């Protein structure tokens, strides 16, 4: 198991085929439940990792295909990030029951959106 350096509020590890997120803090179970529910709800609309298993405050996710980029590829990468962000914002939060939104002005956001997570 290799610890992933960008697990900001969770202990995040991988064995190159599965990512394991162990949630930390007093609301760990609630955050784990919410992420699992949202990922499951979005699975047919966005490329999100499949939820393989959930145990209390621990989530096991499948890997998505991808590749590391070379320096000098900023333009196509940033364009792809922008296109994906447009797809994220096109989803109405009230259409994803796991978010608990009802109606009104709202937009779905990716909390740590960047080149490693987009």
pTM: 0.78
Residue 110: per-residue pLDDT? 65
**pLDDT tens track of the chain, all 118 residues?**
665 555 566 788 888 889 899 998 888 998 899 889 999 999 989 999 999 999 989 999 999 887 777 778 888 888 988 998 899 888 888 888 887 776 666 777 666 555 455 4
Domains held by the chain: number? 1
Residue 6: per-residue pLDDT? 57
Q: Say if CB 70 and CB 79 are below 8 A apart.
A: no
DSSP 8-state class, residue 99: G
Query: How far, in Å, CA of 116 to CA of 69, rounded?
Result: 10
Is 108 inside a domain boundary?
no
Residue 30: partners with Cβ closer than 8 Å, 6 or more residues away: none
Residue 37 belongs to domain with CATH number: 3.30.200.20
Residue 57: per-residue pLDDT? 93
């Amino acid at each position: 198991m290799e610890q992933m350096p960008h697990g900001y509020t969770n202990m995040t590890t991988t064995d190159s085929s599965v990512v394991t997120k162990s949630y930390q803090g007093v609301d760990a179970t609630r955050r784990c439940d919410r992420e699992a529910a949202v990922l499951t709800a979005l699975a047919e609309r966005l490329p999100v990792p499949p939820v393989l298993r959930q145990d209390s405050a621990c989530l096991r996710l499948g890997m998505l295909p991808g590749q590391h980029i070379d320096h000098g590829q900023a333009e196509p990468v940033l364009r792809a990030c922008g296109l994906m962000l447009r797809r994220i914002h096109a989803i109405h939060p009230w259409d994803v029951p796991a978010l608990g939104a009802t109606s009104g002005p709202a937009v779905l956001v990716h909390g740590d959106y960047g080149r490693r997570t987009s």
